[in-house]
Chains A and B, each alone.
Chain A
Amino acid sequence: MIDPIFLAEAAVNGVLLGGVLALLALGLNLIFGVIDIVWIAYVDLVMLCMYLVYFLVQVYGWPVWAGGLAAVALGAALGIAVHLLIISPILGSAPINQLLATGGLLFFLQSFATFLWTTDHRSVRLSLPSYDLGGIFLPLTRVIPFAISILALVALYLFLTRTFVGTAIRAVSQDREAMGLMGANPHRIYLVTSAVGGLMAGLAGALLIFLYSVHPFFGGQLGPLTFMICVLGGLGNMVGAFVASFIMSEIISIAGVLWSTEMGYVIAFVVFIVMIFVRPGGILARRG
């Protein structure tokens, strides 16, 4: 029987992981909800931003905050570039063609990163303390990214609900034809959405470089889980993705301690499969 204190620590681990997963999932889900195209290469954009922070901070000695801001700017620029160069020309194509195009981008980015920076794993180390709260360890290197993730998600929520552009984005995601008929330009909204989604990727990159080593195939580590969370939460459903992030991370963490690390992922995937059958539209989708 495991000591309850370790079970509590597992729950805390789940919360910290959930915050980071939510940041990834919401950026991806925002783009899907508005533009109706899944960016398979989303986590690979995060990878590029991680490389930028690595080089700026580790090689050129920039302060961490400046490296992070640069990554956010790069993410937004990448979001715009991907939309203009790849997504925009195929907006009217069959979904399979859209999927193949973003899949092609994924392979391009991985190969390009390998060509430029080799397959070496690169890390930025931050020496921050961990706090022992009655046997539960709270490492600042994970608490800070979690806190920034939550702040970013709140900012995204306020942007979508309290600004004119955010309202337009939500309107397009609900009915793009109607928005067009009302005189709005959905293409401009798509561009803004891609920039915001890319900005979220940049922020994720700026935070994840302090938790993970970056390498050209980093997308394979977090990409599949991010997509599962988006599907579980409901593609395009922001609140659903947020809730799904924490459901998945808590299952992985608590089942990992109760049974085994592998079993944690097995149970998370079983829950995912069952939920797809029970609620194919996502956990928060209305029945009927």
Chain B
Amino acid sequence: MKSLRVPLILPLVAALVLATTPPPVADAQGQSIKIGVLFDHTGPFAAGGSLNCWRGAKMAIDLVNEKGGVLGKYKIVQVDGDGQSKAEVAINEAERLLNAEKVDILAGIYSSAHAVPLAEKVDKQKKFLWITTAISSKVFDGRNLQYTFRPQATGDQFGALSVAYINEFARDKLKKDPKALRIALIHEDGAYGTDVANGSEVKAKELGLNIVLKEGYSINAPDLSSLVTKLRSQRPDVLLHTGYNPDIALFLRQAKEQGLRLQAYIGHGAGHSQIDKLKEAFGAKEIEGFHTLDPIASQLLDPKKLKPGVGEMTAEMVKRYKAQFDKDVTDRAIAPHVSMGFNNMWILLNDVLPRAISKHGGFGADALAKAARETDIPEGGTMQGYGVKFFPPGHRFAGQNERAFPAVFEIIEGKFELVYPKTVATASPLLPLPASSPLAAK
């Protein structure tokens, strides 16, 4: 009987401690808020955009702290975690941040392959998760998460938009009936690529467009020449590609060498949005006319189209990025991932957190979730142009921002231009691929 005492008493004591430990309340002077910022600092995702997201998030936190903190008095303590581009490591890091570092909020997450398992685990622990970057719709789809929120657009929105873009310009620019176009979809086979490709497929069916090939591949595949050969056998006009890096660099090299010819090449974020890396791997002239989809890089938006004060934030972000990370980069070449990290962290620090503290009595997970559900930022109210309102509990995508949208960018004269939707476009699309591109149909 004595041997049973310890196993029986320990859980009781633990339960008592948990029940009597109050959630963080906002009543102490000089109190700080601990935010675990989880991105991939090492591994292939780091250079694929994750590090730029972290840079953006860090700059937003620094800026808030320089102004005295949230509501002018709650300093943010940033505790970094490195997912190492591996899902199991990201999950362990999340556990460390939440349960060893005792952070109040877990924020960040670049890869959908990490976000999908993480969201459910964190939500079950009733901890607050703020996803800045990962886009897979599977993070929320049918899960009714209560403590997980994402201001970012979803992967299937990306996929649908690229198809809508081609459908819109096929007749005018490619001189073809959209239904006569041969469209191929290739994607990395994780949650991110699969979600985007499914979004494209659904939209293409809806519009009656012709998908001639849909195929996934592993980002660690040492050779993609068979995929190129298969694509050539299907003679696509348009290739929609979702990948990270270095898989897209490998694919593009092999596509060029093996004579793949296209009228349009459209990537979907991640490696396709890192223009400097694309130039290095494939050549500056060679990437002319390449597209990517992402939430809008803030510096590409006309500040006059945004709410007052939002444009100044973008200018501040650009100034800080150049000073801290890359003094030689041109404004337009700053990757959209910097904006994702900065803008989405900014929304948390300047909209959700102040309301949680002032209206709901603190920054515990319940107060934060209530405050997030009350977020109501109209279109043009954030640096990336979209508004923010989260789907309510019980909705199929509870926690997902219903006002988020991506946009189509194209590399024109060596820099990204916004080409779609037309309401935010800064240039007319360059279609078909120019003759300088080795992938251009001859």
Contacts and interface: CB of A to CB of B under 8 A. Distances in A.
Q: Do A and B come from one complex?
A: yes
Interface of A: 2-3, 6, 9-10, 13, 16-17, 110-111, 114, 118-123, 125, 130, 132, 137, 139, 141-142, 211-213, 215-217, 220-222, 225, 249, 252-257, 260-262, 264-265
A118 B55 CA distance: 14
Interface string B254-286: 000111000000000000000001001111000
Contacts of B257: 130, 137, 139, 141-142
A257 B217 CA distance: 12
The 4 closest A-B pairs by CB, nearest first: A256-B226, A139-B257, A119-B46, A13-B225
A213 B281 contact: yes
Interface in B225-249: 225-227, 229-230, 232-233, 245-246, 249
B42 A211 contact: no
Interface residues of B, number: 38
A137 B259 contact: yes
A23 to B, nearest CB: 13
A213 B246 contact: yes
B47 A121 contact: yes
Nearest to A128: B257
Interface in B271-330: 277, 280-283
Contacts of B430: none
B424 interface: no
B47 A120 contact: yes
A6 B232 CA distance: 8
B281 A123 contact: yes
A261 B233 contact: no
B280 A122 contact: yes
A272 to B, nearest CB: 15
B246 A262 contact: no
B42 A221 contact: no
28 contacts: A10-B226, A13-B223, A17-B222, A118-B46, A118-B47, A119-B41, A119-B43, A121-B44, A121-B277, A121-B280, A137-B258, A139-B257, A139-B258, A141-B253, A220-B220, A221-B246, A254-B226, A255-B226, A256-B230, A257-B226, A257-B233, A261-B215, A261-B224, A261-B226, A261-B227, A262-B215, A262-B216, A262-B217
Nearest to B246: A213
Nearest to B46: A119
Interface centre among A130, A217, A253, A265 (most CB of B within 10 A): A217
Nearest to A110: B42
A221 B51 CA distance: 21
A249 B222 CA distance: 10
Contacts of A222: 222
B221 interface: yes
Nearest to A120: B47
Interface of B: 41-44, 46-47, 51, 85, 189, 215-218, 220-227, 229-230, 232-233, 245-246, 249-250, 253, 257-259, 277, 280-283
B253 A211 contact: yes
Contacts of A120: 47, 277
A153 to B, nearest CB: 19
Nearest to B247: A221
Nearest to B43: A217
A217 B225 contact: no
Given A252-B226, A253-B226, A261-B226, A217 B280 contact: no
Nearest to B217: A261
Contact of A215 (B44, B51, B189, B283): B44
Nearest to A123: B281
A215 B47 contact: yes
Given A13-B225, A262-B217, 16 more contacts: A10-B229, A13-B226, A16-B225, A110-B42, A121-B277, A121-B281, A137-B258, A137-B259, A212-B246, A221-B220, A255-B226, A260-B215, A261-B215, A261-B230, A264-B226, A265-B218
A2 B223 CA distance: 20
A267 B438 CA distance: 33
Contacts of A118: 46-47
A59 to B, nearest CB: 12
